[in-house]
Structure 1
Amino acid sequence: MLLNPSAPSAALSAALPSARAVVQSLGASRIREVANAGIGMQGVLPFWFGEPDQQTPEFIRDAAKQALDAGDTFYTHNFGIAPLREAIANYVSALHRPVEPGRVAVTSSGVSALMLLSQLIVNPGDRVVAVTPLWPNLVEIPKILGAEVVKVPLRFGQTWELDVQQLLDALTPGTRAVLLNSPNNPTGWVITREQQEIILAHCRRHGIWILADDVYERLVYDTPGAPDMRACAPSFLDLAHPDDRIVSANSFSKSWLMTGWRLGWVIAPEPMMADLGKLIEYNTSCAPGFAQRGGIVAVERGEEIIAHTVERYRAARDFLHARLNAMPGISAPKSKGAMYLFFRVDGAGDTLDLCKRLVVEARLGLAPGSAFGPEGEGYIRWCFASSLDRLEDGAQRLEKFLRR
């Protein structure tokens, strides 16, 4: 009897194809789970994603259109086209300490920037500390690389606050990195300059990397002298020496209303840039040239857009904050930055189930707090990057649902 060499053995055929165990253990996005339940459903008001309700400004879109019309459809440098790297360096230098274009790398989205930086500094088995609640992508990325993530939760109150000593206690010798997102998604917490100085001194002493997610740095609402054309959250880039173990990820998505463009950037120490270039090549190779042309005019001519956006979001935050806190059973801390309110709902045991019910029964799309880790359970995130009329419509739907 002839054997079929292509037939799998009994042992092999018993095991179905599967991903790596660490990938299987990752939590799927509960924000996406809620959104997928509501996308296509008629009449749903979507506040689940961190996305504005306005299009990218016309002058940015025109720059990309002109680049396409000129045939800009080819590969670019791994680090991005030189004019954009120079424009970003000038922009960052105006906000913080001087940064050379050689320390700037353009990436295909802000989340790609976070993944690249994590691949650059995190080893399998490393201990990584994260201040949470936190956007789930940033918490899961080190796990994909085989690292252990230790969480330090923010404290709930009139505003969300960090217990610095609790964080320092978690940053033990041998810790590889600390993940800090300020302004924070989902809570709107903003780190203070004094806190940064304490954390930086501790990390220098123990050789711990600081991975700063600075995507929302321009969306701050209570800075001294605001409104200000150059208002900006405190950044570790204000304090960093060129050889400090500090890397920063940023994005065009939030400040310039460019979520769908998938364009971001990285600031890293100069000695690491060559290795970062390898990672970009093996991940995405490069960002699209025509999108980068839009990025140039955004950073060079976009300050009025940012100022308008901040004023609009400040009004939206104040309106929604007051509206939510007037509802029985809801406690909403005031957001200091970003574009979210992360509020507590009394008796909300399973916020994933609650948010799915809100979609079906109230046609209201919000993000469950459990999407941001177990410490987010009992809370809901509402993106307020919207008109007051839409926010009021959503508030009425939530109020009616809660009365039922």
Structure 2
Amino acid sequence: MSELDLSFPLLPNARDAVRALRPSQIREVANAGFGVENVLPFWFGESDRVTPEFIRTAASSALAAGATFYTHNLGIAPLRAALAAYVTRLHGATAVEHVAVTSAGVNALMLAAQLVVGAGDRVVAVTPLWPNLVEIPKILGATVETVALGYGTQGWTLDLDQLLAALTPDTRLLLINSPNNPTGWVMTREQQRTVLEHCRRHGIWIVADEVYERLYYPDGAIGSQPAGQIAAPAAPPGAAGQAPSFLDLAARDERVICVNSFSKAWLMTGWRLGWIVAPAALMDDLSKLVEYNTSCAPAFVQQAGIAAVEQGEPFTRELVSDLKASRNHLMQALSALPGVDVKAPQGAMYLFFALPGAANSLALCKSLVREVGLGLAPGSAFGPEGEGFVRWCYACDTARLDEGIARLKGYLERHAAD
């Protein structure tokens, strides 16, 4: 038997780029809640309501009919056609050749990055940001530089000049999430136009994560506008309100990839279904990437997606109305607590706010779970720019929010002298 070669490490490890990825601090807080009775979990980005019955029925009918086989890599033709019609209704003419179905929005983000980013490429991201977007390019060997939103009397705002200065000719990709998770910030149409023109000049790709586009509240929070806060512009025309999108401005065959998901507008988080709108020239290569990642989304889940897109408009309108009411209710309750600084977001399903003790937001959130059973997400989970804040998902009824407020109030009173 040959001697052990000590020139190799004794422990089997993943490659350095993977080992360097940030673990999820949201999961870390959630893990701290195991064994704690009656925890109120506001830490994840999903509603406490189940997927609508008409969508579940479509899936069960498809299963009963035997929709259990592989499908086309880019999705079944009826769903791609339904999505093309949906995008056309919201954002202008979009052909089926520009639409691909994916196994969830996060899978779409990974595929988009794999299409255009490689080792050594420079990526710019606007933060605070859901950590998956920042970490995905790093898996591929790219470097990620961040441009932080500012926080003040207007809430979260973008310094457009700072972003443009970061988008140098050697930049390969810009990552934009609007409406933004966690802040609720929404990029204006004029900002999008300026950024798009700048990226055109320098050949920079844009990957726009627009999964919250339908969760849009352009008038601010009712009864809770801070003094001097400027109201947002009216919602753009369309089947219903939606946030400004790069799809409103960009030609379908330029360097813009828009990612979306069924998770938010139709409460389908567990179904893992999303889509991409991208240049037609990318589709053959995208098909190969889908094959080597997931092969295809499940056929019966895609049938559920057709029901969501074709029948779900009344549901989405009602959902947005309910979310807006919950947001306003939580805004008013938090504003009444001493030391809490919260501003009205224009989109998404979160309040991202400052409160005493949040200078170490991870420690604070763990303490909230242990002491009062309140589950919030630490701001540091969304990058160093988020430290000092916590995220509260308000996608639930107001009675549940009130119980959470009562627990937070009790905790702050108990620690007022700390």
TM-score by length of 1: 0.96
Match of 1:63 in 2: 58
Please point out which of 148, 161, 179 is paired with 2:157: 161
Partner of 1:267: 277
Kindly state the Cα deviation for residue 256 of structure 1 after the two structures are TM-superposed.
0.2
- Counterpart of 1:196 in structure 2: which amino acid? Q
Q: Per the alignment, in what secondary structure is the counterpart of residue 360 of structure 1? A: helix
- Separation in 2, partners of 1:386, 1:228: 26
Alignment counterpart, residue 212 of structure 2, candidates 208, 216, 233: 216
CA shift, 1:103, in A, is 1.1
The answer on 1:252 being equivalent to 2:265 is no
Q: Deviations over 1:46-95 (max 9, x none)?
A: 00000001000000000000000011111111001000000000000000
Cα distance in 1 for residues equivalent to 2:284 and 2:142: 24
The amino acid of 1:208's aligned partner reads I
Q: Give how far 1:39 is off.
A: 4.0
Q: Does 1:278 align with 2:273?
A: no
In the TM superposition, residue 351 of structure 1 has moved relative to its aligned partner by 0.8
Instruction: Give the equivalent residue in structure 2 for 1:234.
Output: 244
Which letter maps to 2:196? Answer: L
1:318 maps onto 2:313 in alignment: no
Identity %: 61
CA distance in 2, matches of 1:387, 1:68: 32
Asked if 1:74 is matched to 2:74, the reply is no
Distance in 2 (alpha carbons) for counterparts of 1:379 and 1:259:
25
Match of 1:93 in 2: 88
User: What is the one-letter code of the residue matched to 1:219?
Assistant: L
What letter is aligned with 1:107?
A: T
TM-score (normalizing by structure 2)? 0.93
Q: CA deviation at 1:11?
A: 3.6
Native 8 Å contact 1:129 1:152 kept in 2: yes
Contact 1:156 1:333 in 2 (8 A): no
Q: After superposition, what is the alpha-carbon deviation per residue over 1:193-238, rounded to whole angstroms, capped at 9, x for unaligned?
A: 1111100110001111110001000000116269985111000001
Q: Residues 137-152 of structure 1: matches in 2 within 5 Å? A: 137-152=132-147
2-side partners of 1:119 and 1:15: how far apart? 32
Q: Which runs of 5+ in 2 are unaligned?
A: 219-232
Seen in structure 2, the aligned counterparts of structure 1 residues 239 and 349 have a Cα distance that, compared at 3 Å, is same
2:99 corresponds to which of 91, 99, 104: 104
**Segment drifting more, 108-117 vs 97-106:** 97-106
Residue number in structure 1 paired with 2:228 = none
CA positional deviation for 1:324: 1.0
The 1:177–1:356 alpha-carbon spacing in structure 2 relative to 1, beyond 3 Å, is: same
Q: Which residue of 1 aligns with 2:364?
A: 354
Unpaired runs of 5+ residues, structure 1, are none
| Alignment equivalent of 2:118, drawn from 109, 117, 123 | 123
Secondary structure (helix, strand or coil) at the match of 2:290 reads helix
Moved more, 139-148 or 228-237: 228-237
Root-mean-square deviation (CA, aligned residues, Å) is 1.4
Give 1:336's aligned residue: 346
Aligned counterpart, 2:19: 24
Which residue of 2 is the match for residue 200 of structure 1? 196
Q: Deviations over 1:138-170 (max 9, x none)?
A: 110011111111100111123211111110011
Asked if 1 retains the 8 angstrom alpha-carbon contact of 2:89 and 2:238, the reply is: no
* Further displaced range: 126-135 or 241-250: 241-250
- Look up the SS of the partner of 2:171 in the other structure: coil
Rounded Cα–Cα distance in structure 1 between residues aligned with 2:105 and 2:214: 15
Q: Following the alignment from structure 1 to structure 2, what is the Cα–Cα distance between the partners of residues 71 and 382?
A: 41
User: What one-letter code is carried by the residue in structure 1 that aligns with 2:165?
Assistant: D
Moved over 4 A (4+): 225-229
What is the alpha-carbon distance in structure 2 between the residues aligned to residue 154 and residue 40 of structure 1?
37
CA contact (8 A) 2:90 2:239 kept: no
Contact 2:236–2:244, Cα closer than 8 Å, also in 1: no
CA contact (8 A) 1:229 1:306 kept: no
Using the TM superposition, give the Cα deviation of residue 328 of structure 1 relative to its aligned residue in structure 2, in angstroms.
Answer: 1.0
Check the 8 A contact 1:227/1:307 in 2, yes or no: no
Indicate conservation of the 8 Å contact 2:358/2:390, yes or no. Answer: no
> CA 1:274–1:369 in 2, change beyond 3 Å: closer, same or farther?
same
2:59 maps to a residue whose letter is: A
Q: 1:220 to 1:29 in 2, by over 3 A?
A: same
Seen in structure 2, the aligned counterparts of structure 1 residues 227 and 337 have a Cα distance that, compared at 3 Å, is farther
Q: Is the 8 A contact 1:229 1:307 kept in 2?
A: no
Matched, 1:133 2:143: no
Q: What are the superposed Cα offsets for residues 113-132 of structure 1, whole Å, 9 maximum, x if unpaired?
A: 00000000111111111000
Please say if residues 212 and 249 of structure 1, whose CA atoms lie closer than 8 Å, have aligned partners that are also in contact. Answer: yes
Q: 2 CA distance for matches of 1:303 and 1:187?
A: 26
Give the aligned residue type for 1:221: Y
Output the CA distance in 2 between the equivalents of 1:242 and 1:103. 7
Instruction: State the 1:108 CA deviation.
Output: 0.4
SS of equivalent residue, structure 1 residue 176: strand
CA contact under 8 A between 2:235 and 2:243: conserved in structure 1?
no
Deviation at 1:347, TM superposition (A): 4.0
Aligned residues: 399
Task: Provide the C-alpha distance between the structure 2 equivalents of 1:348 and 1:58, rounded to a whole number of angstroms.
Answer: 40
Matched, 1:176 2:177: no
